[in-house]
Amino acid sequence: MANEEFYSGRRVLLTGATGLVGGWLVQSLLSRGAELTCVVRDFVPNSRFYTEKLNERVNIVRTDLEDLPQIERTINEYEPEAVIHLGAQTIVGVATRSPLATFNANIRGTWNVLESCRLHDRLVKSVVVASSDKAYGSQEKLPYSEESPLHGESPYDCSKSCVDLLSQSYGKTYSMPIGISRCGNFFGGGDMNFSRIVPSTIQHAYNNTPPVIRTDGSYVRDYIYVKDAVSAYEFLAQKTYEKKFRGEAFNFSNEEALTVLEMMSKILKLMGKSSLKPIVQNQALNEIRAQHLSAKKAREVLGWKSAWPVEKGLAETVAWYEDYLKSKEARK
């Protein structure tokens, strides 16, 4: 939904290019003619950033988000007009095991990006920061609206609350053009973290083995297809540039709340494997039982709306993984 001409020839800096959403976003921005610089920490050969050879079409800066001088140098030298900050440690279990590393990557990394943009505010005209529905923490009133308080409790959730508040602070205190995105659980082709519910279920079904659920299956989540997420980030960056949002937050969602078991059932049905009975481990720690989003503000203020219902996104996702798993078998 972003204007096709907006990104043509426009310099964009992206963090998190090797992540699930990052790879799809790089591909989309390049197709729109953006001049892209990507901040990359690790070489992740299975990420779409490399498998689709997107790395060969962008500027790459190899550094940690925690390195303020390098982030500041990158913005100064590559002169982006728009900065889209997706880079983070995104795995809840990793955050629980290593909270300090997660706080450093997510919180320090974000203030480094924001401070570098502040120092070069004559260059940077739009900043988008990826927060999360996890920033809201556990609340009785659902769905979350942007007026819901932020009080994440577990290490990962807390890091996202801090990221969100830092972005609001910089936007309002320094009058910086910052838009904050809050999305639910991403899914789509190219997610190589097979501990997540969608790729894990598809892999088990492909191999005709019972899928595994870490929770009791009743946890409610908001699932957003990666192409919806890409459109949300592109749209928010453009609107922040045009309207100069000052630390304004927006929920992005298809507004389909599903339990883990319901999501798994949809995948198994699409793959013709409904007879497979899941193994329910009920071992989840530090996870919120129910969370989902209202996207009313995004519709009314931005004019954004979801184009990908869950089942439509799952159909593409299943097809992607079936091709991937077949090609992996052929290479053996």
Task: Give the number of other Cβ atoms within 10 Å of residue 305's Cβ.
Answer: 14
Task: Note whether 88 and 109 are within 8 A (CB).
Answer: yes
Task: Note whether 252 and 229 are within 8 A (CB).
Answer: yes
- Is 321 noted as a catalytic residue in this protein? no
Largest CA distance in the chain: 59
Tokens 């809840």 found at: 92
Angle at 238 between CA 235 and CA 242, to 5 degrees: 135
Residue 257 is inside which H or E element, if any? Answer: strand 257-259
Q: Using CA atoms of 5, 78, 17, 232 in order, give the dihedral in degrees to the nearest 10.
A: -40
Tokens 């899914």 found at: 187
Q: Could you say which of 156, 223, 233, 241 is catalytic? A: 156
Catalytic annotation, residues: 156
